[in-house]
Structure formats: structure tokens, C-alpha cells
């Protein structure tokens, strides 16, 4: 568990020392603010400042939260105040409106990382870039093609229906958030017990979305 390492500043220092002395890799960091509490990262930032890092992307939660509860914006501000490195913000960018709020809260941040919000809504990055909140009229046609491409790639790379089903279930846990009834949508995918039934379920979901 990566966030469990944050409380061991000495080990982080040893790892970075070895990487920077034995390779020409320019390291970037992706961190939470701690495992037990968000103050843990403040003990690490002075060490990170001694290395020529490319950037530090911080997910504004602690490890114990997993993805539950809100992000800690005050703790993220402390990170900004206590590091010389370029910071990226990560956490709960799930809509254009949510992005605007974070942009106003942290005007010095000009790089943003989107995780689960991107899987739930693949249109989100382009909408943020264009600063629009309207989806394209053929939204679900594009989404359908996107899904099919992912499925086809996994079908070619994996052997047997079970591994593919498990991979796609992971996507649908988030994809379902883009549909009118997320719980019903995910349940329909979960109940599909064969590739044929999965295909039928997907077609029904997208057909219903396109006609709504």
C-alpha cells in the first residue's frame, strides 16, 4: 500500500537517493497525504525538496479513507505552502462545475489529475478543456464505440470470458454513473453470465440511453 510508506521519510529518502544516483530518471511523485492522518506528508516534503523532481501529484485524501469521504482541501493547501515543487491536484474532479470550484480554490495550480471521474465520464477532460457543460448530441453513440473498443482489446489480450467479465465489471462500476439509473445499469451487467448475455445487456443499456 503506497500511502503506508509516507510515514517512513527515511525510507523514501533512501529510495530517491538510490534512483537519482544510479539512474538518469527524472522522478515524478504520486502521493496521498498520509495513511493515518494528513500531517504525515508534511514530514516528507522537506526531503522531496532536496531532489530535482518533475512534479508531485497529490490525491487529497489519506490511505485509510480509500475513496470514502471528502477530500481535505485545507491539508492540500498546507502542501502547497510547504514545498518548492510543482504540484498537481487530484481528487473528486467529477464534473466541470467541480473543476471550476477547485480552480477557484487553488488558483496557483495549473495541472490537474483526473482518476475515477474520467472512467465514469470519458467526456469530462474535453469538456473541461473547452469549458462547456453540454454533452455532444451523439454522446451515447461515442460512448458505445469507446466501450466496444475496450472490450475488443481485452478480448484479444485475455483468454476466457471470466477475466474479460471481471475487467469490464471494473469499468461498469464507474460507467454506470453516466446513466439515468446507475444501480440498475450495473446490476444488469453483473447478472450477464455469458459473453452473449453481456452483449445483450450492453446493447439494451445504450439503446435505452440513446432513446431517453
pLDDT digits (tens, 9 = 90+) for 121-157: 999 999 999 999 999 999 999 999 999 999 999 999 9
When the candidates are 3.20.20.70, 3.90.220.20, 3.30.450.20, 3.40.630.30, the CATH number that belongs to 2-130 is: 3.20.20.70
Quote the percentage of the chain above a pLDDT of 70: 100
- Give residue 160's pLDDT: 85
- Give residue 27's pLDDT: 94
Does residue 159 carry a pLDDT above 90? no
Confidence bin at 102 (pLDDT 50/70/90): very high
Does residue 12 carry a pLDDT above 90? yes
Across the range 190-196, mean pLDDT stands at: 94
Across the range 2-31, mean pLDDT stands at: 93
3-state secondary structure of 9: helix
Single pTM value for the model: 0.86
- Give residue 84's pLDDT: 96
Instruction: Quote the cell numbers at residue 190.
Output: 453483473
3-state secondary structure of 56: strand
Domain ranges of the chain: 2-130, 139-211
DSSP secondary-structure letter at 73? H
Across the range 74-82, mean pLDDT stands at: 97
Of 160 and 152, more confident = 152
Confidence bin at 67 (pLDDT 50/70/90): confident
Across the range 66-89, mean pLDDT stands at: 95
- Give residue 212's pLDDT: 84
- Give residue 136's pLDDT: 94
What strands lie across the sheet with 29-31, from one edge to the other? Answer: 29-31, 56-59, 87-90, 112-113
Instruction: Quote the cell numbers at residue 30.
Output: 504520486
| 117 CB-near residues (< 8 Å, 6+ apart) | 92, 93, 94, 95, 98, 124
- Give residue 131's pLDDT: 96
| Mean pLDDT computed over every residue of the chain | 95
Does residue 1 carry a pLDDT above 80? no
Amino acid at each position: 500500500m503506497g500511502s503506508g510508506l509516507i510515514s517512513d521519510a527515511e525510507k523514501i529518502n533512501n529510495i530517491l537517493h538510490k534512483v537519482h544516483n544510479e539512474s538518469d530518471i527524472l522522478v515524478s511523485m504520486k502521493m496521498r497525504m498520509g495513511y493515518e492522518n494528513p500531517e504525515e506528508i508534511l514530514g516528507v516534503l522537506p526531503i522531496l525538496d532536496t531532489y530535482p523532481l518533475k512534479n508531485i501529484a497529490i490525491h487529497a485524501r489519506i490511505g485509510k479513507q480509500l475513496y470514502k469521504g471528502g477530500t481535505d482541501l485545507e491539508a492540500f493547501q498546507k502542501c502547497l505552502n510547504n514545498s518548492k515543487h510543482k504540484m498537481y491536484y487530484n481528487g473528486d474532479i467529477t464534473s466541470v462545475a467541480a473543476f471550476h470550484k477547485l480552480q477557484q480554490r487553488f488558483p496557483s495550480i495549473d495541472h490537474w489529475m483526473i482518476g475515477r471521474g474520467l472512467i465514469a465520464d470519458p467526456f469530462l477532460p474535453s469538456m473541461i478543456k473547452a469549458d462547456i457543460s453540454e454533452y455532444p448530441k451523439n454522446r451515447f453513440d461515442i460512448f458505445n464505440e469507446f466501450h466496444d473498443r475496450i472490450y475488443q482489446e481485452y478480448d484479444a489480450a485475455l483468454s476466457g470470458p471470466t477475466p474479460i467479465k471481471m475487467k469490464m465489471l471494473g469499468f461498469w462500476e464507474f460507467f454506470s454513473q453516466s446513466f439515468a439509473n446507475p444501480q440498475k445499469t450495473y446490476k444488469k451487467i453483473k447478472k450477464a453470465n455469458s459473453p452473449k448475455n453481456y452483449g445483450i445487456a450492453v446493447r439494451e443499456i445504450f439503446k435505452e440511453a440513446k432513446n431517453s
